[in-house]
Amino acid sequence: MLVSARYGRLTPHEDELPAYARARAFRLRFLLRWKTLRCAPLREQVYGPGGPGSCVAVGEETVRILLNLLEGT
């Protein structure tokens, strides 16, 4: 939603490719970081030695990925 809010079109006649390109870049960066786009494998990555971990780590890193993308880095 943030990518669309920042790079999306305001009228039907504007080009939607800038937003699509950023959305694809975000998806790729997420996939490179987490090696999956599916929930179950993500949860397995955040499990601790004694049991379930917290998905907070996924959320925090995902926000970093998004902010870097929005800042152009």
Domain positions in the chain? 2-71
Q: Is the pLDDT of residue 55 over 90?
A: no
pLDDT value of position 52: 67
pLDDT value of position 48: 64
pLDDT digits (tens, 9 = 90+) for 8-41: 999 999 999 999 999 999 999 999 999 999 988 8
The tokens for 66 are 């998004």
- pLDDT-derived band at 42, boundaries 50, 70, 90: confident
Pair 59, 44: CB distance under 8 Å: no
The tokens for 73 are 């880095």
pLDDT value of position 49: 63
- Rounded Cα distance between 68 and 45, Å, is 22
Pair 8, 22: CB distance under 8 Å: no
- Rounded Cα distance between 54 and 29, Å, is 21
Q: Give ∠ CA 33-64-31 in degrees, rounded to 5.
A: 20
